Chain A
Amino acid sequence: MNASSSLFVLALAGTGCGSIRGSIDSVSDSSAGVIESLKSPFVASSKSSGIGGTTEGSANYQRDVHSYALARLVCDDEPGEFLRGMSRVAELHGVSDWEDSPDTYAALQGLVAADELDAAGVARLRDGLAPLGPDKVARAFGETSPQR
């Protein structure tokens, strides 16, 4: 289709980038897509014990946690908001118990080690994670024992 044909079509239909959520057929399509996505790692050969059962799943989860933490730590959020967001990000990967996931700590350690946070950001991260308890905060910072 050339550009003028595209314009003609756009003028006729007046729409693009359509959502696939309008009818039973289209939402069933998206449900079928989710089913294919969920099945795929279990019939592939790259299974591991990470998030989503694959090394790629682990990397994707860690990237999300890293990106989320980096973005939120510059915001002046209400207490608890940082952890609520962590929960929401984890749910995108089918996880509710992110506190005990090694991938969570790998992501946070990566964030600290990458030197992407200034001193204030590091302090906010420590404060944000504080409700998890000193052991988990230490784990997030790659420390051998909790800071007193």
Chain B
Amino acid sequence: MNAATTALLLAFAPARGELADAPAPLAFLHVESNVDGASGGHSALRVGGFVYHFQHGDDGLLELVRDDWTGFRYVYAGLENRTLHLAHVDAAPADVERVARRCASAYVEEVTALDRAARRHLDAGWFDALRDGRLAPPIRGLGLLADAAGALPAAGAGELRTAVLAAFGARFLADERARSEQAIAGFALAPAATDLEPWREQVATDAALRALEEGRPLAAEAAFDDVDPAPLSAGERAALARARDAQTATILSLLRSARCDRGFALLVAIARHRAASLSLERGRLVVLDPFPDDAPRFAPERWLEPESVAAQARLAVRALEAERAIRRAVLSAETFVEADWNALEDVSARCREARRGARGEPVRVRSLRMVPSRGRVVAARPAVADAASRAALAHARVERTRCEDEERRAYRLLDRNCVTELARLVDSAFEDPADETRALGGRLDPDRGLGFIPFVFQERVVARLRIAREETILNHRLTMLARVEAQEPGLLTSLREATARASTIYRPRASDGDFLFFTDDVVGLRPLCGAANLGWGVVCGLGGVVTAPFDGGRRLRAGFHGAFFSLPELVFANVRKGSFDSAEEPPPAEPPPAEPATHE
């Protein structure tokens, strides 16, 4: 692609951060293909600041995923280097809100259903442990605070206890604990029941009361202060004092509540109170580690590519930038906003993990937002006499849930994929086809013909619905290419950037496979470039046969992977785009000033 063509494309397809940020209440997205799981392309729906899309998970089930638009764009157009095509629907705000409500409803229903399924699974684990006399799974939230005195000092514990006793009376904690212990001891399951969640919740409440009464400190692994060592400023100290006082108010409020799962919320609030107090004592920021116990942990030997270490280092830099931006806002705010505080915990923990990865150590990862929930195994047991039969019942329930789930969500290439389910979701927001036609200008029929293919589906969206405008967000390489070609116009620049080995924008990655030429921005020469890519991939793969004993087959895989994804290029189709482990773009000429947080 030459500079003029790229400039023209950019004129119609604004770069990220420009028109893409303009209000776009309802838009269908087609995400271009890339290698492996992305080879068929992808479809999604942007509603306001969220993107809803269905993903084919490792378990073979389709999962409704909700991403923030900023993150979605960064991952798909940036890191995965896939151009996004948006068709903005001309719909009334009330109709957009109906679609937003329907999507939100489907999403929270799925999340809460998965949560219930996870609890059934946990119950089965508990009954297995009871039957076999083994240690039971950890209870969520208990691991935030130490089991006994020790570890980190219990900063602020005395003041908190005093506040609780002042609000409720000197006997309050002792009486509450007595009631709690009685409830735990008196717990009994109905015949054929397997729900142990009420018992676990009571144990969590008891642990929180005990922590308040005994002034238990943070558990050693539950918090950290090594991400951003900058000493606290006077303003930050004042904000931390406000955060600590806000936790005191939260704790007092939760102690008045009779909500069954308040124990977990209490433990989080107590741990945050301790962390804020400890921060003030140490003069540097201490935050809770929000990674859940079941967060996948990737050991270096499972990493496929050596460049993953460098990628982790770059991720750590981005995370630290985010941490500083959030810290600046949160620790200058006049009021405590829990979600903001949690954002600080979240990015700090991700930064810490990425730094570990950069050192070649195992890293924990999580694609969802995280609330601190570290668990701990307890010695206490619910009084269950017939654990073996209850275990069998619990497993039967888990299996039934799994089968129902599979029946409802199993991925099928032709009639239950990211396209068909998205269309059905949108359809279900309206009372009937006539209502949908009135609201959106038409109706989507994903089951007809080739409508299950993302690219075809997007064409149908544009043809059938009332489209206000179309927008293309170029992938990261093409966006950067336009800038490079504008700065260094000429054939040599174009040729250099067209090749994976010489490009100044792209760094070859084993996960992309071995290839020579990018073919997403050439059409006429695509088969020729594809033939060269195919030959190069085969040669690299054969070379990898020789080096396999030394590199574990890495070059072998990359070579034949590259050859495989060159095949579509022979018939003018492009799948592979290359990808990035970091997608920084030069800042705009005059970046808008970052405003400090304003609070009412």
- Give A64 to B592 CA distance when docked, in angstroms: 31
A13–chain B nearest beta-carbon distance, Å: 4
Contact of B368 among A19, A34, A83, A97 (CB under 8 A): A34
Interfacial chain B residues near A67, Cβ < 8 Å: 101, 104-105, 108
- Give A100 to B366 CA distance when docked, in angstroms: 27
Interfacial chain B residues near A7, Cβ < 8 Å: 450, 453
Are B100 and A9 in touch, CB under 8 angstroms? no
Are B33 and A9 in touch, CB under 8 angstroms? yes
Contact of A87 among B265, B315, B322, B568 (CB under 8 A): B265
Are A96 and B371 in touch, CB under 8 angstroms? yes
Are B257 and A5 in touch, CB under 8 angstroms? no
Interfacial chain A residues near B594, Cβ < 8 Å: 42-43
A139–chain B nearest beta-carbon distance, Å: 12
Segment among A23-31, A117-125, A140-148 that sits at the interface with chain B: A23-31
- Give A23 to B321 CA distance when docked, in angstroms: 25
Classify the secondary structure of A's interface with B: helix
- Give A24 to B326 CA distance when docked, in angstroms: 26
Residue B581 is within 8 A (CB to CB) of chain A in the complex? yes
Are B365 and A28 in touch, CB under 8 angstroms? yes
> Contact string, A1-42, partner B, CB cutoff 8 A, digits 1/0?
111011111101111111111111101111111111111101
- Give A8 to B297 CA distance when docked, in angstroms: 36
Contact of A25 among B116, B197, B305, B419 (CB under 8 A): B305
- Give A42 to B595 CA distance when docked, in angstroms: 8
Are A36 and B257 in touch, CB under 8 angstroms? no
Q: A28-B311, A40-B68, A95-B339 are in contact. Are A1 and B573 (CB under 8 A)?
A: yes
Q: Whose C-beta in chain A lies nearest to the C-beta of B53?
A: A17
Contact of A38 among B36, B343, B511, B592 (CB under 8 A): B343
- Give A76 to B453 CA distance when docked, in angstroms: 39
Are A19 and B56 in touch, CB under 8 angstroms? yes
Are A97 and B329 in touch, CB under 8 angstroms? no
A1–chain B nearest beta-carbon distance, Å: 5
B527–chain A nearest beta-carbon distance, Å: 12
Are B39 and A20 in touch, CB under 8 angstroms? no
Residue B256 is within 8 A (CB to CB) of chain A in the complex? yes
Residue B337 is within 8 A (CB to CB) of chain A in the complex? yes
- Give A118 to B312 CA distance when docked, in angstroms: 53
Q: Whose C-beta in chain A lies nearest to the C-beta of B570?
A: A8
> Contact string, A81-113, partner B, CB cutoff 8 A, digits 1/0?
101110111011111110111000000000000
Q: A19-B63, A131-B259 are in contact. Are A39 and B321 (CB under 8 A)?
A: yes
Residue B303 is within 8 A (CB to CB) of chain A in the complex? yes
B364–chain A nearest beta-carbon distance, Å: 10
Give A40-60 interface residues, CB cut-off 8 Å to B: 40, 42-43, 45, 47-53, 56-57, 59-60
Are B453 and A31 in touch, CB under 8 angstroms? no
Q: A37-B67, A53-B329 are in contact. Are A31 and B366 (CB under 8 A)?
A: yes
Contact of B454 among A16, A71, A94 (CB under 8 A): A16
Are A9 and B101 in touch, CB under 8 angstroms? no
Are A9 and B581 in touch, CB under 8 angstroms? no
Are A24 and B303 in touch, CB under 8 angstroms? yes
Q: A9-B568, A16-B40 are in contact. Are A80 and B598 (CB under 8 A)?
A: no
A98–chain B nearest beta-carbon distance, Å: 8
Q: A3-B450, A42-B597, A63-B104 are in contact. Are A13 and B365 (CB under 8 A)?
A: no
Are A27 and B56 in touch, CB under 8 angstroms? no
B400–chain A nearest beta-carbon distance, Å: 17
Are B55 and A20 in touch, CB under 8 angstroms? yes
- Give A56 to B574 CA distance when docked, in angstroms: 38
21 A-B pairs within 8 Å (CB atoms) are namely A6-B456, A10-B40, A16-B39, A17-B418, A25-B305, A25-B581, A30-B75, A31-B353, A33-B71, A33-B72, A35-B71, A35-B322, A36-B322, A37-B68, A42-B340, A47-B329, A48-B598, A67-B105, A71-B108, A132-B257, A133-B258
The 9 closest A-B pairs by CB, nearest first: A18-B37, A16-B40, A17-B418, A94-B342, A33-B71, A5-B573, A37-B68, A37-B71, A13-B39
